[in-house]
């Protein structure tokens, strides 16, 4: 005799996160947005502190090396270091504010997309409208990059200034079901506020790299007055400290931008998984995105609108493909086979 009790619900895979299964309400996106705001703030603070710390080391070194006026007996406290740290910290905050206000426009300018209306691309705009309704979001602007490569991206720091861009090759190479999957993925980035995060963090990571490059340039200027006196027989203490700081600065200048990039890439990979799952919520169809990912990965190639500054924004990396055996640390995107395996598991729920 059959058991009259209802079957227990199948457990949802942990990678989907809380309340991320198919058929989940819009409150899940609000939770994802809140989490993204918190993570964005935390990571921006960390990256700003890294940049300010590099600035302090640079100012301290230049003060100890005699290139800036020093305060006698200051020890580890350096007025030059404090001033440099404050200047770079303020610059980081300013750059973040600029990226929040203009980041989306800067990305669109870099990719070279052309805005289109429904009369220009009726199927594309219609699919974007469908996904915007499914996400409960304002209709984003739609752009087409006139290139035969197959790729897509989303940008904008809020739903009010969001935009989705696709290449001409993607429009030619995908059917409507596959196009829905890709647009659903990009709309997922917008709904989860990933686009704000990726734009602002990308700018801040760039600032860390800029400060590191500044440090390396200062190292090429040659020794300051303190180091010259030390070689002449005086100032051994300050010269020795300057040498130690020089070594620390060189190490920090090399390691800091790499560490910032690794953090950015790690978070970017997790957001790709979440956007894939969100696309299935919007389309109720995992097969379309699976097929699209297979086609996009096979046809991925560099094009004029893609660069190292924007590679993490695209649905697949246009500059480099990462297989399952590739180093996870240096990958901007998860391996396509891993994404497909998770989508297949999601489709069976």
Token output for 184: 């659903």
Contact 170, 153 (CB under 8 A): no
- Please tell me the distance from the alpha carbon of residue 265 to that of residue 76, in angstroms, as a whole number: 34
Q: Which of 307, 314, 209 is nearest to 261 (CA)?
A: 209
Residues with Cβ within 8 Å of residue 210, at least 6 apart in sequence: none
> Which helix (H) or strand (E) segment is 86 a member of?
helix 79-111
CA 113 to chain centre: 20
| pLDDT (tens place) for every residue of the chain, 349 residues total | 445 554 444 444 443 444 333 333 333 556 666 776 677 677 778 778 888 888 888 888 877 766 666 555 455 678 888 888 898 888 878 877 777 777 778 788 888 889 999 999 999 999 999 999 999 999 999 999 999 999 999 988 787 889 999 999 999 999 999 999 999 999 999 988 888 777 777 677 777 777 777 777 776 665 554 444 444 444 445 556 667 777 877 887 777 777 777 766 666 777 888 899 999 999 999 999 999 999 998 887 888 777 776 777 889 888 776 655 555 566 678 888 989 999 998 866 5
pLDDT for the residue numbered 15: 38
The tokens of 81 are what? 């270091």
pLDDT of residue 117: 95
Residue in 63, 121, 186, 272 annotated catalytic: 186
**Please, are residues 241 and 70 in contact by the beta-carbon 8 Å criterion?**
no
Q: Is 186 a catalytic residue?
A: yes
* C-alpha distances in Å from residue 2, one per residue of 5, 7, 226: 9, 11, 89
Q: Are 295 and 178 in contact (CB under 8 A)?
A: yes
- Write down the pTM of the prediction: 0.71
Residue recorded with tokens 């979001």: 137
- The neighbour count for residue 106, using CB atoms within 10 Å, is 17
């Amino acid at each position: 005799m059959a058991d009259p009790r209802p079957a227990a619900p199948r457990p949802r895979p942990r990678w989907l996160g809380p309340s991320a299964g198919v058929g989940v309400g819009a409150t899940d996106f609000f939770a994802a947005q809140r989490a993204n705001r918190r993570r964005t703030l935390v990571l921006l603070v960390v990256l700003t502190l890294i940049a300010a710390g590099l600035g302090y080391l640079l100012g301290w070194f230049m003060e100890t090396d005699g290139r800036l006026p020093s305060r006698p007996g200051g020890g580890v406290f350096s007025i030059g270091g404090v001033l440099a740290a404050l200047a770079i910290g303020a610059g980081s905050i300013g750059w973040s504010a600029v990226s929040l206000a203009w980041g989306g426009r800067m990305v669109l300018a870099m990719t070279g997309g052309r805005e289109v209306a429904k009369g220009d691309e009726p199927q594309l705009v219609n699919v974007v409208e469908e996904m915007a309704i499914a996400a409960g979001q304002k209709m984003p602007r739609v752009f087409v990059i006139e290139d035969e490569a197959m790729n897509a991206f989303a940008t904008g720091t809020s739903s009010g200034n969001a935009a989705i861009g696709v290449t001409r090759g993607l429009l030619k190479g995908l059917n409507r079901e596959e196009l829905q999957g890709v647009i659903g993925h990009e709309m997922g980035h917008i709904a989860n506020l990933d686009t704000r995060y990726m734009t602002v963090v990308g700018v801040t990571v760039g600032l860390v790299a800029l400060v590191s490059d500044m440090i390396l340039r200062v190292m090429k200027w040659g020794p300051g007055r303190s180091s010259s006196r030390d070689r002449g027989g005086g100032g051994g203490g300050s010269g020795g400290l300057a040498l130690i700081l020089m070594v620390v600065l060189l190490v920090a200048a090399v390691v800091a931008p790499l560490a910032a990039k690794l953090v950015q890439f790690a978070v970017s990979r997790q957001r790709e998984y979440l956007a894939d799952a969100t696309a299935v919520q919007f389309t109720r169809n995992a097969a379309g995105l699976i097929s699209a990912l297979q086609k996009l990965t096979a046809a991925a190639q560099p094009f004029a609108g893609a660069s190292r500054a924007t590679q993490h924004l695209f649905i697949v990396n246009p500059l480099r493909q990462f297989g399952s055996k590739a180093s996870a640390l240096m990958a901007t995107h998860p391996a396509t086979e891993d994404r497909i395996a998770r989508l297949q598991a999601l489709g069976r729920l």
